[in-house]
Amino acid sequence: MAHSEEVTNVQDDYNSDNRHLYSLNELDDYEVADDNPDIRGWPVKTRDGSVIGKVDDLIVDTTAMKVRYIDLEINQDVRSDDDNDHALVPIGVARLDDNDDDVYLDQIASIDSLRAYPTGRRGLINRDYEQKIIRYYWRSDPDQNAGSELVRTEEPAVGSDSSFYDQRYFDDQRLYANRRRS
């Protein structure tokens, strides 16, 4: 399958440093590795178990040969804005349920906390949007808190160099840590 017109147009919206990010659904030479489940279509849940949407696609970094984001299609009854029906979720902040085909976002406590999440329209990815997502997780990270005082570690990398994806938010091993073994 060749790149569709939508992907071509989406690529025009990318910053020059993001031309390596593509939708897995649009890449005919890429597939999920045999030892990893294909999570497209799986329900996505908050920490409290509320279903907020489904995995619509995976966003692949073709340079590094890694999945960088889950493309979350947000359920209509959960959306705060009808125009913004998708959200990118860094692969390292999601986890797979060990028993069911569900994806959990533990740092999103409930549907109400999703309202502050940076959303967008399908396919529009630029570094500014990526930075907003990382800052969201960095601010809501329980590892950033100690006792009653907020303790901040070093700001997340937000530049355009390759170190941006060296953050733990992009550690795909975190997603698959609890996966069901066949």
Model confidence pTM above 0.85: no
Q: Is residue 145 part of a domain?
A: yes
CA dist., res. 10 & res. 18, Å (int)? 11
Q: Is residue 80 part of a domain?
A: yes
Q: Is residue 114 part of a domain?
A: yes
Between 3 and 83, name the one with better pLDDT: 83
Between 153 and 101, name the one with better pLDDT: 101
CATH number of the domain that residue 105 is part of = 3.90.50.10
Read off the pLDDT of each residue in 29-45 and give the average, rounded to a whole number.
90
Between 145 and 122, name the one with better pLDDT: 122
Residue ranges making up the domain that contains 66: 21-175
Q: Is residue 1 part of a domain?
A: no
CA dist., res. 147 & res. 52, Å (int)? 30
Q: Is residue 34 part of a domain?
A: yes
Strand partners for 89? 70
Which pLDDT score, from 0 to 100, does residue 2 have? 30
Q: Is residue 13 part of a domain?
A: no
Q: Is residue 162 part of a domain?
A: yes
Q: What's the number of domains the chain is made of?
A: 1
Q: Is residue 6 part of a domain?
A: no
